[in-house]
Structure 1
């Protein structure tokens, strides 16, 4: 695409954001975002409590790990099938009202599962059905929640807010499983589901207490035909959108299958127990929180950071797969978590900021559909490779695909930006071994740099 074409199709410019670093928690200065984040940390904790209890309940009812996998697939399948329609809805209706509806529905589903479990009438098909219904609600909730961040904090703080959202979710991951374990052991899975259902009162209260006059005005898309196709055409016409989404698709499908790999390492390589599995997840969560907080300090996002984080993530996965030592494996989980969140938050914020606000819901629904919707596809493939060839080969393959995808997308973005890689082998204080310089046959686009 030529520079002129890119200029004509580009979204309206956002206010200039000074380069460099910003306060790690700068978005929390915004009252509406503080209310949103406070409610989210409580509901995210409830979500992690419910996830552990749900898997344990299915395993208790069936004795089958395959049944646990079916539950996960049921929850993510709606995003794969209907994810793009959620973006159309997010663009068309007021996001705060949509979130009140989705959050209340999620809370109600949690309470229904709690009632079934506590009464002793729960069956595995109940869990499947509720998981599928939760997935349907998530189809609307996810793009709405992602794009509502821009209305709360504005373009200047969107990168920081996206990073803090990730830190929020990963912090809940540190304590949610522990709370779930205590509840399951002490009083049963039913009370864990009850805790999750009640936890949604917190984000609903935050949404109700917001000052709507302080929300940034974003133009809504009127009802009309062809809006789904319009969103796909929009993404296809913008390399700065399509290539990050392609990269997210590869890594989300093949590089993020940690439940399969970590559990297999525990049972087949290190011969541990559930406590070791919990430790592995906690170490990754620690790295994820660190990565999210470091990302929150950045006031700008470059595509080279996105590609570099994806490549480092893949290389670290390959190193962990080949690790001969338990302690080396454990240590590598922390930077793997950090680079995974750096990649995720960079991709999220760069795609949002490069998108016209009118199209943002549809673009983010495609982003989440590709990222989350790949799980029902990549999970079984990864599981088969792991079962057939061993966990080290499975983990190595995931890291290799992630690193290769990073290199391929990096080259595509470089070409789309009118740049080329310059290699300078001469020694010198100010010389760089690799540098991106404009190609002589076309001008450079800053978006690809």
Structure 2
């Protein structure tokens, strides 16, 4: 069961990254503004702020698999409709920036509905002894998609422009929904009392260490935002084009794959707590290399380093929070995890875009590196664990 779930998640994440790259490039081509590219990321992730708590409560109240299917269908249908508009009317007549932002918002809403059940289902798909490895693979799956998706998106942009990219991204979301129809997870524990939307907040208020880990997820996501928001401007500044945007995002994903390979050997000699701190440090170091790079090659290397740190920090934080949360609260707490991890992107995207337009793109990347380095303190929260 878990293999099919993981494969579907990778496929859907590939689609999301193709969609993200295409939307960012299309907006930059339409406006030439880093701020408007940031607005695309904002439209993608604002639904996390609006709907995550409600989706988390639904996850603890109804069938998690069906809710996840509904979210993937919503994203897929929206992106397919955007692709159809572009194919029929072209980039000049499809509706411009407003239509693009609305479509990205609706696709993001589908993702907001999907995130809590996608996280909460994992323990019901594997035996208890395999939970840590499954959680690690589940956290790595987006990075595998990040490795494939940007390269695929860049190739599709070169071959057929944004219309072709969106035409591939939409069915990728729908494919995950089809795969889920064949998966039958174990029944989840249901709350004995009424499911309250703010139950996750109450749990985090009572468990301060879990709350610190949640803030760590927000911080590492903030540090990774330049991969989405700033790569078009970085590529242009170094004399590259759409293919360089894809190269940078792919390099970040390659770093994540390196982290996956290194994770098991590292766990034999390092416990989760310091490994999470090291992940923050490696991510910050990679961002500094990117900011100071005079050429595409060195910037690409910096993104590889950043991707390695990002996935190390992400896997550690995800594993630690999933180990602590009771199953009857899992949907609401993991909704807050998704909110912390992805819901910070609107603020990060706007801040990165504003700094890049007001100063330069290098200053924006360095700001993200400094925030990441300071935030490594959040990963130092400790309790008894192996």
Partner of 2:339: 369
- Contact kept, 8 Å, 2:219 with 2:372, in 1: the verdict is yes
Cα shift at 1:101: 1.7
Q: Distance in 2 between matches of 1:267 and 1:60?
A: 12
Q: Aligned pairs, how many?
A: 380
Cα shift at 1:322: 4.3
- Give per-residue Cα distances to partners, 1:58-87, cap 9 Å, x unaligned: 345555544333222111111123322221
TM-score normalized by the length of structure 2: 0.87
Q: 1:355 aligns with which of 325, 330, 337?
A: 325
Say if 2:86 is the partner of 1:117: yes
Say if 2:251 is the partner of 1:279: no
Say if 2:134 is the partner of 1:165: no
- Contact kept, 8 Å, 2:212 with 2:378, in 1: the verdict is no
Structure 1 stretch displaced more, 199-208 or 74-83? 199-208
Summarize the alignment of residues 9-408 of structure 1 with structure 2, pairs less than 5 Å apart.
32-62=1-31, 64-120=33-89, 122-124=94-96, 125-210=98-183, 212=184, 215-221=185-191, 224=194, 227-268=196-237, 270-295=238-263, 298=267, 302-322=272-292, 328-407=298-377
Partner of 1:21: none
Partner of 2:384: 446
- Contact kept, 8 Å, 1:301 with 1:346, in 2: the verdict is no
Q: Distance in 2 between matches of 1:260 and 1:204?
A: 28
Residue 189 of structure 2: SS of its match in structure 1? coil
TM-score normalized by the length of structure 1: 0.76
Q: Relative to structure 1, is the Cα distance of residues 141 and 385 closer, same or farther in structure 2, using a 3 angstrom cutoff?
A: same
- Give per-residue Cα distances to partners, 1:252-307, cap 9 Å, x unaligned: 23453234444444344x44444333322222211111213433675996222222
- Contact kept, 8 Å, 1:254 with 1:382, in 2: the verdict is no
Partner of 1:432: none
Cα shift at 1:242: 0.8
- Contact kept, 8 Å, 2:35 with 2:350, in 1: the verdict is no
Q: Distance in 2 between matches of 1:191 and 1:259?
A: 20
- Contact kept, 8 Å, 2:120 with 2:334, in 1: the verdict is yes
Q: Distance in 2 between matches of 1:398 and 1:59?
A: 21
Q: Distance in 2 between matches of 1:392 and 1:196?
A: 30
- Contact kept, 8 Å, 1:86 with 1:143, in 2: the verdict is yes
Greater relative CO (CA pairs within 8 A, separation 6+): 2
Cα shift at 1:446: 1.1
Partner of 1:434: none
Identify unmatched segments of 5+ residues in structure 1.
1-31, 415-444
Between Structure 1 and Structure 2, which shows a larger proportion of helix residues? 2
- Give per-residue Cα distances to partners, 1:132-152, cap 9 Å, x unaligned: 112222222011101111111
Structure 1 stretch displaced more, 396-405 or 46-55? 46-55
Q: Superposition RMSD on alpha carbons, in Å?
A: 2.8
Q: Distance in 2 between matches of 1:88 and 1:142?
A: 12
Q: Relative to structure 1, is the Cα distance of residues 327 and 198 closer, same or farther in structure 2, using a 3 angstrom cutoff?
A: closer
Q: Relative to structure 1, is the Cα distance of residues 107 and 222 closer, same or farther in structure 2, using a 3 angstrom cutoff?
A: farther
- Give per-residue Cα distances to partners, 1:304-363, cap 9 Å, x unaligned: 222232233224433543457765544333222111111111111211111111111111
Q: Relative to structure 1, is the Cα distance of residues 132 and 304 closer, same or farther in structure 2, using a 3 angstrom cutoff?
A: same
Q: Relative to structure 1, is the Cα distance of residues 319 and 144 closer, same or farther in structure 2, using a 3 angstrom cutoff?
A: same
Q: Distance in 2 between matches of 1:105 and 1:256?
A: 24
- Contact kept, 8 Å, 2:215 with 2:378, in 1: the verdict is no
Identify unmatched segments of 5+ residues in structure 2.
none
Q: Relative to structure 1, is the Cα distance of residues 205 and 59 closer, same or farther in structure 2, using a 3 angstrom cutoff?
A: same
Higher gyration radius (CA): 1
Q: Relative to structure 1, is the Cα distance of residues 53 and 240 closer, same or farther in structure 2, using a 3 angstrom cutoff?
A: same
